[in-house]
Chain A
Amino acid sequence: NAGVTQTPKFQVLKTGQSMTLQCAQDMNHNSMYWYRQDPGMGLRLIYYSASEGTTDKGEVPNGYNVSRLNKREFSLRLESAAPSQTSVYFCASRGLNYGYTFGSGTRLTVV
């Protein structure tokens, strides 16, 4: 099925560990996004990529890095995880029409 695929779905990290969240879309979309969702705060934009080879900071970029590997893939890296990064992470992509498609999310816990 066409859509946005995120891996892993769940992850527990120890403080200071690093990890990369993977995201891939098969809809030939140009724009891709990473959001985090915390209770009572809605979804907040971490980083986005308007096209292959470009990335820009969103509202809450500190502690994260991203890579737009190619048109399909947009990864989010936590270099040194902190408990404040415990959250649900969503990847999304947007095509030429107005629609945004979201992945199913990654639930990350940092202990």
Chain B
Amino acid sequence: AQKITQTQPGMFVQEKEAVTLDCTYDTSDPSYGLFWYKQPSSGEMIFLIYQGSYDQQNATEGRYSLNFQKARKSANLVISASQLGDSAMYFCAMSVTNFGNEKLTFGTGTRLTIIP
């Protein structure tokens, strides 16, 4: 079975500082994908970044980067130069394909609050 663990229920960060949100995962499948989603107070799920298990380089998307450490099974999200609009819930998720069916498993999330 697949499992995603986010150990930080909440974080407070000063505006303009960088922030790292932790995510560890567990799977025996050699092929998987790792995702980060942002959920603002309005409730929608916003895709941020993706990392494939065979990707050699860490994924980056603007101010977001994914610190992928395969041996440690971690996929931390780094947000550079945080902004007030970054305040939201952040979910780490993993996709694994079994017998042709792909499913996305989520962690419990981290609530990030940016302080002015």
Residue numbers of A with Cβ under 8 A of B are 31, 33, 35, 40-45, 48, 50, 56, 58, 88, 90, 92, 94, 98-102, 104-105, 107
Shortest Cβ distance from residue A111 to the other chain B in the assembled complex, whole angstroms = 21
Task: Report which of A56, A94, A102 forms a contact with B44, defined as CB distance below 8 A.
Answer: A102
Contacts A42-B109, A98-B33 hold; do A48 and B103 have CB atoms under 8 A apart? Answer: yes
Sort chain B's interface into a size bin: 20 to 34
| Contact present for B95 and A104 (CB under 8 Å) | no
A92–B95 Cα distance when bound, in Å, is 13
Dominant SS at the A interface? strand
Q: Which residue of A lies closest to B101 (CB)?
A: A50
As a 0/1 sequence over residues 1 to 38 of chain B, the CB contacts with chain A under 8 angstroms (1 = contact) are 00010000100000000000000000000000101010
Chain A residues with CB below 8 A from B104, complex form: 33, 45, 92, 94, 100
Interface centre among A40, A41, A42, A99 (most CB of B within 10 A): A42
A105–B103 Cα distance when bound, in Å, is 19
21 pairs across A/B with beta carbons < 8 Å? A33-B103, A40-B9, A43-B91, A44-B106, A45-B104, A48-B101, A50-B100, A50-B101, A88-B43, A92-B45, A98-B33, A98-B52, A98-B95, A99-B47, A99-B50, A100-B47, A101-B47, A102-B37, A102-B45, A104-B44, A105-B43
Residue numbers of B with Cβ under 8 A of A are 4, 9, 33, 35, 37, 43-45, 47, 50, 52, 91, 93, 95, 100-109
Chain B residues with CB below 8 A from A104, complex form: 43-44
A31–B47 Cα distance when bound, in Å, is 17
